[in-house]
A and B are shown apart, each in its own frame.
Chain A
Amino acid sequence: MRVRTESILPYSLLAPTLIFITLLIVVPIFQAFLLAFQTADGEFTLTQFEKMIADTSFADALKFTFLLLIFIVPAQVVLALVMALLIHTRFKGHTFFLYIYALPLAISDLAAGIVWLAIFTERGFLNSGLFQLGLLERPFLFLSYQNLPALFSTLIIAESWRATAIVMVILLAGLQVIPRDYFEAADVFGANTLKRTLFVVLPLLRPSLQNALIIRTIFAFQTFAVVLALAGRVIPVLTGEAYNWYALNRNANIAAAYSTLVLIFTVIATVVYFRLLRTSTAEAGFD
């Protein structure tokens, strides 16, 4: 009797969550597919996808989503790596700096967009500062469609500022599970800091690095509010188009087509994620 309750107990403890997640995550994913691929009569159709692709913003949305990803993810990882390695040296006062670097964890993409709006807008802090330093005669329009590269850069800066904290915490957690012996061994063989970082720390940190890379890649597909706050509709992105089609045009089917496209990219990234992760943890030899 005792054995029986034991074997059922973990399942019954997990059941509420599993049911909840099935109803609110698994089922909606299938419904998104149905919305995207079905007509009102329930027949299979590609019309919605054709309409989505024919939409004037589609090509730009696809282009900018991937461009953002290509720039944002490496920027975040490099910056976060510097922060994490710095904190990991455990210099005097490192916890103080860690808490400062971690603060943006609390900030939503919408709020981050607004923060950088105050800096990059026409009469914002950046223009004011450059003017007062005598570097500018009149405000530069960072956020105008006429200066697309500048506008695009503001998005990268805002997203790097916000999401670097998440990557840093992931990398720092990874650094902490690397046994201290590895560092000491490198010291014994006379490696300097740079060599030790490149040849000892980075290879051992690979699982965490890949983790961070893929998590950020997946979420970079969802970049949305930060773009809306800084660029309005000048720079369209896939998730933003899903929002526009649903909230402004009241067309759930085309919105679902955009969502489905994002989902497909997410699944591809996830599969790549697990492939890479499996080989890398085996190689690292601990975990």
Chain B
Amino acid sequence: MPSSRFILNRIFLYAVAIALAVWTLAPLYLIALAAFSTKEAVFQWPKLFLPTAFSTETMAFFVGSTGVLDSVKNSIIVALVTVVASLILGAPGGYALARFRFRGKDAIQLGFLISKMFPTAILSVPLAIAFLQMDLYDTLWGVALMHTAMALPFVIIVTAGIFVGVPRDLEEAAQTLGCNRLQAFWRVVMPLTIPGLAAAAIFTFVLSWNEVFAATILTLRNRTLPAQVLSGLSGSPLYYRYAGGFFMILPAVVFIFAIRKYLLNMWGNIVR
């Protein structure tokens, strides 16, 4: 029979856990409420906390606004290019870090760690000037290049962690059974790492989907969704902003929830 002190402990523990969950979830509920209401309800006083004015009016207004659908399409294209490019470029590097000992390895790893720390705010202005000269300014390619550079150190470190998880013996066994190095990688290592790589891909997608600063600086007309919402912040009605905010959050939250089991491992690797 548990002591009363133990039970009190448990009650306290769950109370704190639930309070923190409410702190995290309540704002998400409220923005959903604000994003799915009538335009009048957005300015209603006092606001109600139950979805009594549920309507797709504000969301439809946002999606139907000039440039929004195009910017959603742009965001998806940029994010997909970023995912493919950063995995193709980064995963082999991750494999190299996971499997080989070589001169300069520590320096290279340190380099990746440091390059993670120079975020877009510093790089965007000089890149915008360089892109102007290369006809990459205001193109989706330019934004995707920047996002790939931003994602690469992350992809390398995460994929290295994934490849370390595959026992070397398996690969060597495949090689003694007649596979060459590439075949051993393709037939034995790859299938085992697909779930981890997919999680890394999804995380990279969200990274690009959410990126605001570089996308705003590097484009003028070909906006991504966050750039579109940001550039309209001061001039757009509240309900447009609410709908835009919710529209940006929804896919990202769904994606992150889908890869929840990998989050700890990925971040554990990144910050090590």
A binds B: yes
Interface residues in chain A, defined as those with a beta carbon under 8 Å from any beta carbon in chain B: 6-7, 9-11, 13-14, 16-18, 20-21, 24-29, 31-32, 34-35, 79, 82-83, 86, 89, 91, 94, 97-111, 113-119, 121, 123-125, 127-129, 131-132, 139, 161, 165-166, 169-170, 172-174, 176-177, 208, 211-212, 215, 218-219, 221-222, 224-225, 228-229, 232, 239, 242-243, 246-247, 252, 255-256, 259-260, 262-263, 266, 270, 287
Q: Complex formed: what's the CA distance from A99 to B258 in Å?
A: 10
Secondary structure class of chain B's binding surface, majority of residues? helix
The reply to whether A224 and B17 form a contact with Cβ atoms under 8 Å apart is no
Tell me if A270 and B46 are in contact (CB < 8 A).
no
* B-to-A contact residues, CB < 8 Å: 10, 13-14, 16-17, 20-21, 23-25, 27-28, 30-31, 34, 43-49, 89-90, 92-93, 95-97, 99-100, 102, 105, 108, 111-112, 114-115, 117-130, 145-146, 148-149, 152-153, 156, 206, 210-213, 216-217, 226, 229-231, 233-234, 238, 241-242, 244-245, 248-249, 252-253, 255-257, 260, 263-265, 267-268, 271-272
The answer to whether A123 and B213 have CB atoms under 8 Å apart is no
In the complex, are the beta carbons of A110 and B226 less than 8 A apart? yes
* Interface pair B114/A270, CB less than 8 Å apart: yes
Tell me whether A29 and B47 are in contact (CB under 8 A): no
Task: Write the chain A residue with the least CB distance to B110.
Answer: A274
Q: A17-B93, A28-B123, A100-B24 are in contact. Are A110 and B256 (CB under 8 A)?
A: no
A9 to B99, CA, bound (A): 11
B212 pairs with A91, CB closer than 8 A: no
Evaluate contact between B45 and A128: CB separation under 8 angstroms.
Answer: yes
Q: Chain A nearest CB: distance from B58 CB in Å?
A: 11
- Total A-B contacts with CB atoms under 8 angstroms apart: 276
- Does the CB pair B217–A243 fall under 8 Å? yes
Q: Do the beta carbons of B212 and A127 come within 8 Å of each other? A: no
- The one of B10, B115, B238 that contacts A25, using a Cβ cutoff of 8 Å: B115
| B45 and A106 form a contact (CB under 8 A) | no
Interface of A is mostly: helix
Flag if B27 contacts A239 (CB, 8 Å): no
Q: Are the C-beta atoms of B245 and A128 separated by less than 8 Å?
A: no
Q: A13-B92, A118-B245, A256-B125 are in contact. List 16 more A-B contacts (CB 8 A).
A: A31-B126, A32-B126, A86-B13, A97-B17, A106-B206, A106-B256, A108-B212, A115-B30, A125-B30, A125-B49, A169-B264, A211-B271, A218-B119, A221-B121, A225-B226, A259-B122
Q: Report yes or no: B245 in contact with A115, Cβ–Cβ below 8 A.
A: yes
Instruction: Provide the bound-state CA to CA distance between A166 and B95, in Å.
Output: 26
Residues A173 and B264 in contact, CB atoms below 8 Å apart: yes
Q: Beyond A82-B16, A259-B122, is A13–B96 a contact (Cβ under 8 Å)?
A: yes
Contact of B271 among A82, A102, A173 (CB under 8 A): A173
Q: How far, in Å, is A96 (CB) from chain B's closest CB?
A: 9
List the 9 shortest-distance A-B pairs measured between CB atoms, nearest first: A114-B245, A173-B268, A108-B210, A24-B149, A31-B126, A106-B256, A106-B252, A128-B47, A128-B46
Contact status B256-A32, CB under 8 Å: no
